[in-house]
């Protein structure tokens, strides 16, 4: 990269232009642009202005390190609690509606379309018979 190209990359990156657009306008590889930006700690303006965020669960302020992926949670505890309370936001693609072989109720199975029983208790009852109540 020439000195003029480096200056162009700096200016365009400060304006928030992406790696691919910079590479296309200068006629160089996007990987070259990415490497240059990472080595020189060039981020888009949006990332530079918001270097701290807040935890999506508890609201605690977070420090964002530009070397790593943007953090959304302050801890594993908050992350797990948030996802457990927001299961509807999961992008599940392999959900199967099946009928239990024992109780004949409809149930959902994620990722396993060969499942036969809705619960372990139904499996035990079907396999070994229902225990008599004393």
Question: Which two structure tokens, joined as six digits, stand for 83?
Answer: 């996802």
Give dist(CA 75, CA 80) in Å, integer.
Answer: 9
User: How do residues 38-91 score in pLDDT, each as one tens digit?
Assistant: 888 777 554 444 445 788 888 888 888 877 888 888 999 999 998 888 877 777
Beta-carbon contacts of 5 under 8 Å, excluding residues fewer than 6 positions away, are: 26, 28
User: How do residues 31-49 score in pLDDT, each as one tens digit?
Assistant: 999 888 888 877 755 444 4
3-class secondary-structure state, position 41? coil
Cβ(52)–Cβ(61) below 8 Å: yes
């Amino acid at each position: 990269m020439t000195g003029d190209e480096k200056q162009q990359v700096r200016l365009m990156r400060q304006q928030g232009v992406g790696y691919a657009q910079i590479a296309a306008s200068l006629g160089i590889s996007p990987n070259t642009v990415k490497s240059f930006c990472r080595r020189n700690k060039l981020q888009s303006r949006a990332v530079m202005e918001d270097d701290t965020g807040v935890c999506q669960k508890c609201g605690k302020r977070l420090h964002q390190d530009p070397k790593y992926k943007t953090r959304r949670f302050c801890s594993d505890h908050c992350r797990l609690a948030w996802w457990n309370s927001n299961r509807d936001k999961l992008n599940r693609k392999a959900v199967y509606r099946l009928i239990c072989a024992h109780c004949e109720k409809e149930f959902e199975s994620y990722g396993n379309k060969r499942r036969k029983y809705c619960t372990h208790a139904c499996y035990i009852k079907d396999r070994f018979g229902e225990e008599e109540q004393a």
